[in-house]
Structure 1
Amino acid sequence: MLNVGTARLKAGKNEEIRDLLQAAEQSIQQAKGITQQLLTFTRGGEPVKTSMALQPMIKESVKFTLHGSKAKSRFDLPDDLWPVEIDPGQINQVINNLALNAVQAMSRGGHLTVTARNVTIEEGDQRTTALQPGNYVEVAIKDEGVGIPPENIDSIFDPYYTTREKGTGLGLFSVYSIIERHGGWITVESEVDLGTTFTFYLPAAADEEAAAISSEIKEGSGRVLVMDDDDTICLGLKALLGELGYEVETTANGEEAIERYGEALKSDQPFDAVIMDLTVPGGMGGAEAIGHLKELDPRVRAVVSSGYSTDPIMANYQEYGFEAVLMKPFQLADLSRAMDLVLG
């Protein structure tokens, strides 16, 4: 993914090459989605949560999924929606899966309508059988497709259940599992030949501030130390960070990172940020190295990176001394957001 992103940047104005590389990136993202669905089924995965507004993510995700299809999108997303405490990657997967289901149900075209509103669940509400009393954001995704037969509707969230020839049977199961792990709830209503509506609830964030997640690429400056035992990832990160305006040095394990960071700290060119792989087979990973770096420099600005979404450090990275998190495989926009969060 990193090298494809770097190649897209290097392609410049050559639209043909850029389009081919974008298609490759999308294929990798689809493979990532299937992998995450398998992880959800086999081991789960603690959400890596942040407080954010849902509106930008919903619009971007739905429009991306509907691109090239005959379906058209409609949105009713009030500006005063409460922010929610979510894992952006996981909730994006929920929206993608539900939108993709709608597209497949509307092969001849139709409208996909997405609405959202603030709701308060109180004691005695019929929804308290599945939700704790409190504030929630309700999102409804309605299509005009073929609908779900009554005899099938109770099985659609079961793992491996599918009525499609090329379906994995993991998409809706993953949706259900992700919403449940967020402390939410999802329901479905459907009529054959009229359409289907999925409605899910996410707990509102306690604070009123929310970060917008977008695909905007922000350049920056500063010296960054990268630690990863995979030479390919080091090469890709160095190239992408360089394109963003950063000066980069790479190391292969925690011991090397600690030594290099200490040397730079004593010089007139200290590192402004560190990106570390969580685990290194046979060596010291970021999980252990961060403690040593904190001893050298209590103000160290560190980002943890990993493909293991089930590790509790990824979900609670701030408790372990990190400022931001990068889930592998990540794109240039993810890297840009992390660096802006740490150094912006």
Structure 2
Amino acid sequence: MSSPLTPTAPASQNIQTGQPDGYPNGYLDGYLDGIGSDAERVQLALAAGAIIGTWFWHLPSDCFTIDEQFAVSFGMPPQGPRHGLPLQQVIETVHPDDRPGLIEAINAAIARGGAYAYQYRVRRADGHYHWIEANGRVELDEHGKPWRFPGVLLDIGHRRAIEAERDRATAMLRALTDSLEQRVSEAIAEREQVEADLRQAQKMEAVGQLTGGLAHDFNNLLAGISGSLELLRIRLRQGRVDELPRYIDTAQDATRRAASLTHRLLAFSRRQTLDPKPTDVNRLVQGLEELINRSVGPQIEVAYQPEAGLWPALVDPNQLETALLNLCINARDAMPGGGTLRITGSNLSLEAGPALDIGVAPGHYLALSVADTGTGMPPEVVCRAFDPFYTTKPMGQGTGLGLSMVYGFVRQSGGQVRIQSQVGQGTTMTLYLPRHAGAVDAGTGALCSLAAPPIEGLCRVLLVDDEPAVRAVLAESLADAGFSVAQAGDGAAGLAVLQSPLPLDLLITDVGLPGGMNGRQLADAGRVLRPGLRTLFITGYAEQAVMAAGGLEEGMALMTKPFELHQLAERARQMVEGL
């Protein structure tokens, strides 16, 4: 294995592009540029200041691509070259005492592949050294050779200072053996404050781990989408249209996977859009039994044992189904040789105390448990089971987001999750869901009670969305489905259409709109101007405004972005026809 300071050159290069053979013209440059821009957006959205730079290293050509923050952190001119840099130039400002260890750590990561992390000092443009931590991952090509090395920089100077201060406070506390009680109390308070700061610094490191995982997964998905689109353009130019469906399917599959990833992240962060309803959990589980049996396989015995008189719960039934299936699939994976999966439901009351998580109110709860007879988990794994991107499964067999999604959904619903596990004896996951004190409607939702005859003739829709590209695509899709579509880019423009004499059968509006009027406010104003106007909300985020009155009113429905275009047209037609 060659040193990263003198990487092995590719066997041949394209003279025009200067890139290794085997890459389409311009592919590597475009891909690397995409890596930088998307990583930066992920940093701004999630890192909250923890990430101070990103890099992408193409190992065969020793070609570094860095962003502006990276350049500033390493004392480079922010407007200087940031693409095609060799490693030797990148590490010139590393502290001389730290450079040998850094090179050794890089060599070790390249030799074994996988995760890489190292802390060292770098000189900024002002001449001062500061501590950073580099986190990345060495990825191998199809032949098992090092191919690319993306990563992020974390600013750990504050944490280093906190650790030093904590050590100083601890030493001072030990020296105060015969001091006055007041001095001892002050020292203890100082130490507690330092430890609280350290915990905050550790949380920021966790944000860095989350951001790194996001950047890695999204960059892979974006590569699949952009590569498919590029090949579509090439094949269209070549007239080879029979190959287009394959590239379209690849891009759509990557889009669905990206949507699933964002959905799980929103669930973990308790920002997904929920539609809580009084839910008969007993009936919900019974309806899922056949699907659960098919999912876990014949080698696992499934038993459902509900308590008599099981209370209804106030939850989003669709999300509860997803959470329950996640737990059953996790239980299946813990029993590779077969076993028993037992689902139980019971009523209980939780009082204030250690049994309640912070933010969970005392009261009546429905406990839904999934127990397996599998391998179980040691305490150190139980402590991290709900961490995002944490998984004990082999590479490629788990994202580490399943349990974090379950945890976020239950907490956002006002409940809590508990784990009981022993190695070799199995695991029990229990969801505590808030009880609904009223009756449960036997129907499937509010819209099912609308009894209107099918609409004949042209259906007229007002579409309100502040994103022009999204609005154009949705409007064209609705027009293809036979709707007459009026468009507006914000709440004020939508209100002007509602105030006009234009006939309308349905309002379709995004929830988060600019200009001081959100989608729910627009819908409420529309019902004042046009009583009974049906409204379909579309949203990609958990805007609480849509649930202003505790739920959707009759004649209102909700769809979460992204969705397939035919689903929007079908849902719109169902609402217009009162189905």
Q: TM-score, normalised by structure 2?
A: 0.44
Corresponding position: 1:196 with 2:432: no
Q: Which residue of 2 aligns with 1:3?
A: none
Q: Which residue of 2 aligns with 1:39?
A: 266
Query: Residue 68 and residue 279 in structure 1: after superposition, are their counterparts in 2 closer, same or farther (change >3 A)?
Result: same
Query: Residue 153 and residue 319 in structure 1: after superposition, are their counterparts in 2 closer, same or farther (change >3 A)?
Result: closer
Shift in Å, 1:278: 2.5
Q: Which residue of 1 aligns with 2:100?
A: none
Q: How far apart are the structure 1 equivalents of 2:357 and 2:517? A: 46
Corresponding position: 1:103 with 2:332: yes
Amino acid at match of 2:463: M
- Which of the residues 298, 302, 322 maps onto 2:531? 298
Amino acid at match of 1:192: V
Query: Residue 158 and residue 318 in structure 1: after superposition, are their counterparts in 2 closer, same or farther (change >3 A)?
Result: closer
Shift in Å, 1:183: 1.8
Shift in Å, 1:40: 3.7
Query: Residue 138 and residue 320 in structure 1: after superposition, are their counterparts in 2 closer, same or farther (change >3 A)?
Result: closer
Q: How far apart are the structure 2 equivalents of 1:31 and 1:57? A: 28
**What SS does structure 1 have at the residue aligned with 2:400?**
coil
Q: Which residue of 1 aligns with 2:546?
A: 314
Q: How far apart are the structure 1 equivalents of 2:575 and 2:301? A: 34
- Which of the residues 246, 253, 259 maps onto 2:497? 259
Query: Residue 76 and residue 226 in structure 1: after superposition, are their counterparts in 2 closer, same or farther (change >3 A)?
Result: farther
Shift in Å, 1:203: 0.7
Q: Map Cα deviations across residues 49-104 of structure 1 (whole Å, 9 max, x no partner).
A: 22222234434556546535424533224573222111334333322321221122
Q: Map Cα deviations across residues 292-326 of structure 1 (whole Å, 9 max, x no partner).
A: 423421332222111222x1123437689773322
- Which of the residues 127, 131, 153 maps onto 2:355? 127
Q: How far apart are the structure 2 equivalents of 1:283 and 1:343? A: 31
Q: How far apart are the structure 1 equivalents of 2:292 and 2:319? A: 15
Instruction: Extract unaligned runs of 5+ from structure 1.
Output: 1-23
Shift in Å, 1:141: 0.6
Q: Which residue of 1 aligns with 2:221?
A: none
Shift in Å, 1:157: 1.9
Q: Is the 8 A contact 1:275 1:303 kept in 2?
A: yes
Q: Is the 8 A contact 2:366 2:433 kept in 1?
A: yes
Q: Map Cα deviations across residues 160-199 of structure 1 (whole Å, 9 max, x no partner).
A: 3221123332222222222222221211112323321101
Q: Output aligned runs, 1:1-344, within 5 Å.
A: 31-41=258-268, 44-45=271-272, 47-60=274-287, 63-64=290-291, 67=294, 69-70=296-297, 71-77=300-306, 80-121=309-350, 123=351, 127-128=355-356, 131-164=360-393, 165-166=395-396, 167-210=398-441, 213=444, 221-222=454-455, 223=459, 225=461, 227=463, 229=465, 230=470, 231-234=472-475, 236=477, 248-253=483-488, 255=493, 259=497, 262-265=500-503, 271=505, 273-279=506-512, 286-287=519-520, 289-309=522-542, 311-316=543-548, 323-330=556-563, 339=574, 343=578
Q: Which residue of 2 aligns with 1:14?
A: none
**What SS does structure 1 have at the residue aligned with 2:383?**
helix
Instruction: Extract unaligned runs of 5+ from structure 2.
Output: 1-250
Shift in Å, 1:220: 7.0
Q: Is the 8 A contact 1:48 1:316 kept in 2?
A: no
Q: Map Cα deviations across residues 198-223 of structure 1 (whole Å, 9 max, x no partner).
A: 01111111322246659xx9997235
Query: Residue 162 and residue 108 in structure 1: after superposition, are their counterparts in 2 closer, same or farther (change >3 A)?
Result: same
Query: Residue 151 and residue 43 in structure 1: after superposition, are their counterparts in 2 closer, same or farther (change >3 A)?
Result: closer
Query: Residue 142 and residue 175 in structure 1: after superposition, are their counterparts in 2 closer, same or farther (change >3 A)?
Result: same
Query: Residue 335 and residue 191 in structure 1: after superposition, are their counterparts in 2 closer, same or farther (change >3 A)?
Result: farther
Between 133-142 and 248-257, the greater mean CA deviation after superposition = 248-257
Q: How far apart are the structure 1 equivalents of 2:454 and 2:535? A: 16
Query: Residue 334 and residue 75 in structure 1: after superposition, are their counterparts in 2 closer, same or farther (change >3 A)?
Result: farther
Amino acid at match of 1:184: G
**What SS does structure 1 have at the residue aligned with 2:275?**
coil
Between 160-169 and 334-343, the greater mean CA deviation after superposition = 334-343
Which has the higher Rg, Structure 1 or Structure 2? 2
Q: Is the 8 A contact 1:225 1:251 kept in 2?
A: yes
Amino acid at match of 1:98: L
Q: Map Cα deviations across residues 106-162 of structure 1 (whole Å, 9 max, x no partner).
A: 2333332211122233x4786356653322111011123222123422221233322
Amino acid at match of 1:178: F
Q: Is the 8 A contact 2:495 2:525 kept in 1?
A: no
Query: Residue 328 and residue 124 in structure 1: after superposition, are their counterparts in 2 closer, same or farther (change >3 A)?
Result: closer
Q: Map Cα deviations across residues 1-35 of structure 1 (whole Å, 9 max, x no partner).
A: xxxxxxxxxxxxxxxxxxxxxxx999876653321
Q: How far apart are the structure 1 equivalents of 2:344 and 2:255? A: 30
Query: Residue 292 and residue 132 in structure 1: after superposition, are their counterparts in 2 closer, same or farther (change >3 A)?
Result: closer
Amino acid at match of 1:326: M
Q: Is the 8 A contact 2:420 2:428 kept in 1?
A: yes
**What SS does structure 2 have at the residue aligned with 1:343?**
coil
**What SS does structure 1 have at the residue aligned with 2:509?**
strand
Q: How far apart are the structure 2 equivalents of 1:120 and 1:107? A: 36
Q: Is the 8 A contact 1:120 1:136 kept in 2?
A: yes
Q: Which residue of 1 aligns with 2:90?
A: none
Q: Map Cα deviations across residues 245-302 of structure 1 (whole Å, 9 max, x no partner).
A: xx7432332636853784354xxxx52x433233468998734532542342133222
Q: How far apart are the structure 1 equivalents of 2:389 and 2:460? A: 44
Q: How far apart are the structure 2 equivalents of 1:37 and 1:47? A: 13
The alignment covers a number of residue pairs equal to 309
Q: Is the 8 A contact 1:52 1:213 kept in 2?
A: no
Amino acid at match of 1:127: A
Q: TM-score, normalised by structure 1?
A: 0.70
**What SS does structure 1 have at the residue aligned with 2:262?**
helix
Query: Residue 154 and residue 194 in structure 1: after superposition, are their counterparts in 2 closer, same or farther (change >3 A)?
Result: same
Instruction: Give the number of the structure with larger relative contact order, counting CA–CA contacts within 8 Å between residues 6 or more apart.
Output: 1
**What SS does structure 2 have at the residue aligned with 1:117?**
strand
**What SS does structure 2 have at the residue aligned with 1:275?**
strand
Q: Is the 8 A contact 1:117 1:139 kept in 2?
A: yes
